[in-house]
Amino acid sequence: MKVLLIGGSGTLGKDLSPVLAARHEVFAPPHGANGLDLASADSVRRALDAVRPDAVVNAAALAEVDRCEREPELAFQLNADAVRWLAVACAERRATLVQVSTDYVFDGGKGSPYLESDRPRPIQVYGKSKLQGEVNALEAGGRALVVRTSWLFGVHGRNFPNRVLQAAREGGEIKAVTDWFGSPTSTADLAVVLGALLEKGATGLLHAVSPGVLSRMQQAEEILALRPGNARLVPVESSSILGLAARRPANTSLASERLAGLGIAFRPREEAVRDFVAGYTPPARQP
């Protein structure tokens, strides 16, 4: 297939690009004036007309939760309106759209992993904008798959596990929340699953996460057990964290009612964490 990958330079995109390229012809235009501008419907249409893809995978988003709260118009423009333009353009050109979404469409109050059949109830702008993006993707009239995932971590980009490993190497304090829970998911593993879903022609709504439910504290402990060092792990409760613009849901762990039926499964999370720790590269120091 010809696959247009949007967000190829992001944390997930950098793992997804080589997985897709192993079996398909992948086009990953840069973001901005010389590439694809998701904030412009015309730019989206031009990109699809230039590539004529069989499928489009959108791994781009404004994912900074507090920034979304401070800039709601921008959040909805990039996470919802852009998806509508993309979905309509895909439907008109008979291209399949794969839209990556988030566990933050839920309020965190269920107390157990959310399934695809659970009703979303986001509590902050980020979740609301991503939920509207899901609706826009699925209601445009074309072939679309929305994949929700949770607590992504990988060797690329900035994420909590990377900060834990940096502290283990260099020393420093890591505050880890004991009462926020999710389903930590390797971007490398999610990339493989997304590639399999695309090839199987899956559509609709689907949850895709590594197995298991952890708190941020437990996640940090799991990582440091594999790479002990000089990090000082400080357990904190979410109620003690001040200055956040957006509310965080307490437990947005996910599980899937559909994935096994498609013959797709994640490997054990522990294996993914071992590979992540082994592949960690310290960030380059600024001159």
The residue to which tokens 């939920």 are assigned? 131
Q: What percent of the chain has pLDDT over 70?
A: 97
pLDDT at 111: 92
Q: What is the pTM of this model?
A: 0.94
CA gyration radius, the chain: 19
Instruction: Output 34 or 151, whichever has higher pLDDT.
Output: 151
pLDDT at 34: 55
What average pLDDT does the segment 144-163 reach?
A: 93
Active site residue 104: no
The residue to which tokens 């590979």 are assigned? 275
What average pLDDT does the segment 165-179 reach?
A: 91
Catalytic residue among 104, 114, 126, 280: 126
pLDDT at 285: 56
User: Mean pLDDT, the chain, as a whole number?
Assistant: 93
What's domain 2-159+183-212+251-267's superfamily in CATH?
Answer: NAD(P)-binding Rossmann-like Domain (3.40.50.720)
Residue of 193, 95, 99 lying closest to 147 (CA atoms): 99
- Encode the chain in three state secondary structure: CEEEEECCCCCCHHHHHHHHHCCCEEECCCECCCCECCCCHHHHHHHHHHHCCCEEEECCCCCCHHHHHHCHHHHHHHHHHHHHHHHHHHHHHCCEEEEEEEHHHCCCCCCCCECCCCCCCCCCHHHHHHHHHHHHHHCCCCCEEEEEECCEECCCCCCHHHHHHHHHHHCEEEEEECCCEECCEEHHHHHHHHHHHHHHCCCEEEECCCCCCEEHHHHHHHHHHHCCCCEEEEEECHHHCCCCCCCCCCECCECCCCCHHHCCCCCCHHHHHHHHHHHCCCCCCCC
Residue of 152, 57, 147, 158 lying closest to 105 (CA atoms): 147
Quick one: pLDDT band at residue 287, thresholds 50, 70, 90? very low
What average pLDDT does the segment 57-70 reach?
A: 95
What average pLDDT does the segment 83-106 reach?
A: 96
The residue to which tokens 């493989």 are assigned? 192
Any idea where the domains of the chain sit in the sequence? Answer: 2-159+183-212+251-267
Strands 55-58 and 2-6: parallel
Task: Indicate whether 167 pLDDT > 50.
Answer: yes
Q: What is the pLDDT of residues 173-194, one digit of tens each?
A: 999 999 999 999 999 999 999 9
Lowest mean pLDDT among 11-20, 27-36, 207-216, 219-228: 27-36
What average pLDDT does the segment 29-35 reach?
A: 69
Q: What is the pLDDT of residues 234-285, one digit of tens each?
A: 999 998 887 899 999 999 999 999 999 999 999 999 999 999 999 887 765 5
Quick one: pLDDT band at residue 38, thresholds 50, 70, 90? confident
pLDDT at 286: 46
